[in-house]
Amino acid sequence: MIGAQKDLTPDAALKYLMDGNERFATDQIAALGKSLNILRQHTVEKQEPFASVLSCADSRVPVELVFDQTIGHLFVVRVAGNFTTPEIIASLEYGAAVLGTKVILVLGHSSCGAVTATLQGDPVPGQISCLFSHIQPAVKKANGDIETAVRENARIQAHLLADSSPVLAGMVRDGKLKIVSGYYDLATGRVSLLD
């Protein structure tokens, strides 16, 4: 698969993404066997990813590997705590409206440091605490449970994307885009959809 596959529906794009995660979780990765040289050559002039992923910046969440994808297949936006801001929304709008992605997945993960730090509320160095206000609504819903907070955060952020962007909302309404949330389990390698 090279390019965004403009013939993919949002549901088919989501299935393709989740099929890749199944290959990853069962140690049957196929993307690494493709010629990276050929893939680079096909993506020099343009990019046509089929899916966007809003992921945490955590180094244990290598998005392309988790979904068994390679160069040019995914449009990935990362920030600690996988939350939305105007800049994140703008990036995801670009992925959907300009590049043609068919699905946006907001991906939380087990043992998320940003969510844990928000939940604990301890003093942190530098600008780290500026993350907390974005994650606090999920923490309030979680009754002190970190994994519930991670899942709630992914759900909330997916809903915020659809509610905060007329561009994305219109694409969803027209059946051109799907916005979902998911949870990546570091121990098993599996992603489960939350919506």
pTM recorded for the entire structure = 0.92
Q: What share of the chain is helix, strand, coil (3-state, %, to 5)?
A: 50, 15, 40
Residue 111: strand, helix, or coil: coil
Phi-psi group of 105: left, alpha or beta (phi > 0 → left; psi -120 to 50 → alpha; rest → beta): beta
- Distance of alpha carbon 191 from alpha carbon 189, whole angstroms: 7
Report d(CA 140, CA 54) in Å as an integer. 22
- The domains located in the chain, with CATH, are 10-193 (3.40.1050.10)
Strand bridging mode 51-55 / 178-184: unpaired
The enclosing H or E element of 141 equals helix 132-141
* CA 145, 111, 56, 181 torsion-angle sign: negative
Locate 47 and state its tokens: 């990019």
Amino acid code (one letter) for 31:
A
State the 10-residue block means of pLDDT for the chain, 195 residues long.
Answer: 67 96 93 71 84 98 95 95 97 97 98 96 92 96 95 98 96 97 98 92
Specify the 3-state DSSP secondary structure of 148.
helix
* pLDDT at residue 35 in the model: 66
CA-nearest of 147, 105, 102, 96 to 11 is 102
CB 20 within 8 A of CB 69: yes
pLDDT for position 2: 44
